[in-house]
Amino acid sequence: MKTGGISRVVGGGLALAFTCALLLGVVYLAAALLAGSWAGEAATEVAPGIPDWAEGFTTASPAGDSDMRDDRMLAAQERMAAIAVWMFVIGVITSVITAVGTFFLIQQIRITRQALEHAETANTLALDGQKRQLRAYVSAKILVEDGRHKIRFINSGATPALEFSAWVTSHIYARGGSEPIDFDEDGYILPLAPNDVCDVVMNYSDTGNRALQDSGTETIIAIDAGYEDIFHEVHKFVAVFEGYSDGEFVLESGSSSFT
């Protein structure tokens, strides 16, 4: 997910939380005003506010006053009961709004976490893509020039192959033979710059060189090589090539390039 998408998700969540908080504030304020209004009305009905000096001039009988007070107390109790009911209803509504807001907040956190995970994955993939474009790629192939065997290492990457090393062994056999006529083995540490080529020539004895002139000889060359790229990742490959004096070498086993 792109940065703009994450910002929209987070902004939507904050707007939702603000809306819920504002709605709760409005509900509580309305409840407080309603309760205060009804309580004031009930207090007015219970105590009408007759001055002390006027009490002596009232002509109502004590029994009538008692009935009126009872009626007012009953009315006040009914008002207070109604207030309690409305406060209960408002409390239920507030709880529902709080639960809904909490649910959406949890969903917002989950979506934001997923967005961050997707962004991290995208960044990792982008970094891997850049590494693949920049790192060194080394391959090997066998050439036969002037009757001599040559191993060519090729760096087709955009950066150098650091500490490139290779161990090469070569055995010459008579076709169908089990014992080598001649062999050569040696280790090499080679500089391989970007898009660079480096050749290694096998050194046989006179017996081996004469045997290579015979079309019936078979040569097996094994390569064990490795290097470190600029990202400090190590790459290795092992390859075995087989060829005849009258033909090209082919990969018999392993891989002829680094992965």
Q: Which residue has the higher pLDDT, 23 or 163?
A: 163
Q: Cβ(225)–Cβ(254) under 8 Å? A: no
Amino acid identity of residue 28, one-letter, is Y
pLDDT at 46: 45
Residue 259 has pLDDT above 70, yes or no: no
pLDDT at 87: 82
What's this model's pTM, rounded to 2 decimal places? 0.55
Cα–Cα distance for residue pair 49/54, rounded to 1 Å: 11
Top-confidence range, 6-10, 12-16, 36-40, 206-210 = 206-210
Angle, alpha carbons 118-7-3 (nearest 5°): 45
Cβ atoms within 10 Å of 239's Cβ, excluding its own = 21
* 215 φ/ψ angles, rounded to the nearest 5 degrees: -70, -10
pLDDT at 220: 92
Least trusted range by pLDDT, from 8-17, 98-107, 134-143, 176-185: 8-17
Residue 1 has pLDDT above 60, yes or no: no
Residue 179 has pLDDT above 60, yes or no: yes
pLDDT at 57: 47
pLDDT at 35: 54
pLDDT tens for residues 146-170? 878 999 999 999 999 998 999 999 9
